[in-house]
């Protein structure tokens, strides 16, 4: 069965409907990236607790502290209001720190 967007392309036959599909897919991708970024920021709380534990090695404490500080700080390498790229730094740097 054809989706609503595929039917619209078949009926109209114009190329601008391809942009509608692209915009919809980018919107879905952006929503997924936001969900993953939110999930990663929740894991930062666990890192903060690990950094405060006295039995955690010093190197692991340092990485956990820096990752937590970056994830919770309002300053980002790439600003969050830039579509897709704004969340990319959170999706790369925070998991690398975890």
pLDDT digit string, tens, across residues 42-83 = 787 788 888 888 898 999 888 888 888 887 777 777 776 777
The region that residue 49 occupies, defined by phi over 0 for left and psi between -120 and 50 for alpha, beta otherwise, is alpha
- Going by C-alpha positions, the residue among 96, 33, 34 that lies closest to residue 66 is 96
Global pTM exceeds 0.95? no
More confident: 56 or 12: 56
> Do 93 and 42 contact (CB within 8 A), yes or no?
no
Q: Where are the domains of the chain?
A: 4-97
Q: Could you please report the per-residue DSSP string of 81-92?
A: TSTTHHHHHHHH
Q: What is the pLDDT of residues 23-47, one digit of tens each?
A: 888 888 888 888 877 777 778 778 8
pLDDT of the residue at 81: 72
> Do 97 and 64 contact (CB within 8 A), yes or no?
yes
């Amino acid at each position: 069965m054809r989706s609503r967007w595929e039917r619209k392309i078949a009926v109209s036959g114009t190329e601008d409907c391809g942009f509608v599909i692209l915009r919809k897919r980018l919107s879905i991708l952006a929503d997924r990236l936001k969900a993953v970024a939110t999930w990663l920021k929740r894991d930062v709380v666990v890192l903060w607790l690990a950094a405060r534990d006295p039995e955690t090695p010093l190197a692991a404490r340092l990485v956990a502290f820096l990752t937590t500080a970056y994830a919770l700080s309002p300053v980002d390498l790439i600003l969050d209001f830039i579509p897709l790229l704004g969340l990319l730094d959170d999706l790369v740097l925070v998991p690398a720190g975890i």
